[in-house]
Structure 1
């Protein structure tokens, strides 16, 4: 199975979408989060920092998140892991899912904090409960591996499915693997084939190793399916939720080694 990976330590693109509505817009002439993010995207880090700081001090969680990025990377400010963590925690504690996810990554990997799987699980759960796909995937891995909580393959599969439906290729692969072997779900080669197909497409050229793993696993599952079942599973793989649109195949009665 694909293990925990912090697909991206920082989440920047969603700042304007997930930031509080109207943040930093009390006065029309005042700089906004959009101004700061635009400056950051242009590489004008010093200007971005100057625009972000007052927004962050006023409690704008998205501004706090981006300011944490800049301190962590030394962009427009001296690199300062402690200051980065402070702003990240402020944002996370106020409910900003990308910050909660990234704080979970830090605890899981021991990045600038003492490694703590329990804390990682708690932060991943808070972000996942808000619909953060990568957090849901990582929470599934924590359940599958028994990190920070009791090992539970049923819970793992449930969280993988949440992330898989949002297009996380690692989650699609692990969910396909789970269906192939009956880990936390009823063994079902047709659903396994469908999710593994979705994973291969999701990995694409950005992750050739992942794509190869998914295709190899799908080839093993295909041995248990008729050509018609394979065609139906491949068609289902193109939908957001293959498991809901595919007819279950007969349990093959043995596990696959992938």
Structure 2
């Protein structure tokens, strides 16, 4: 299983205007999958956690005080960030008492919400006013927000590590889609709530099926799609053709 996790990579593509993460993975026998990796009950990110891009832009245009705290790595921040935002490692935000003076909006690439939700809870207990930017940098750019740096860095920032994948797949806000020709026992155990779509057919049909799934799975803020298959093959081709 360790070998399996180390070989998972992520490719960001666009489906019908929606940023989508494809995670090619190799999985071993289902019996070798540790129980701790299997989501038993779907959780949901608290809606109160979110602040929309529109709400933040409105505050800025109205000259209302708000602190945008980018918790991405220093390297990612230097490559691309929101003008006026500050870069602070997530676990260090609680040490910045001056941030208690204004509402704080945590910003990341737009996917790793579980750790932001946990840290937000701790910050609230310490007297901070904290929310999380719904959709992160990707949504900020799509909805007209300005960014400073290399816009091509958006794709690189949307790569998903194995650790993040297994943490986020258990949330209702994340729609997991298995595009393997047939769904394996390992896939069913690892991501029991994933929808299955056979990606070998017409790519337009695939996009429509995903669009239909999104319509049926309206879960409020922090919506994400993870598309994966058993062995990672054909995903590069799928990316080029969509």
Question: What TM-score does the superposition give when structure 2 sets the normalisation length?
Answer: 0.28
Greater relative contact order structure (CA < 8 Å, 6+ sep): 2
Between structures 1 and 2, the one with greater helix share: 1
Between structures 1 and 2, the one with greater strand share: 2
Question: What TM-score does the superposition give when structure 1 sets the normalisation length?
Answer: 0.27
Structure with the greater alpha carbon radius of gyration: 1
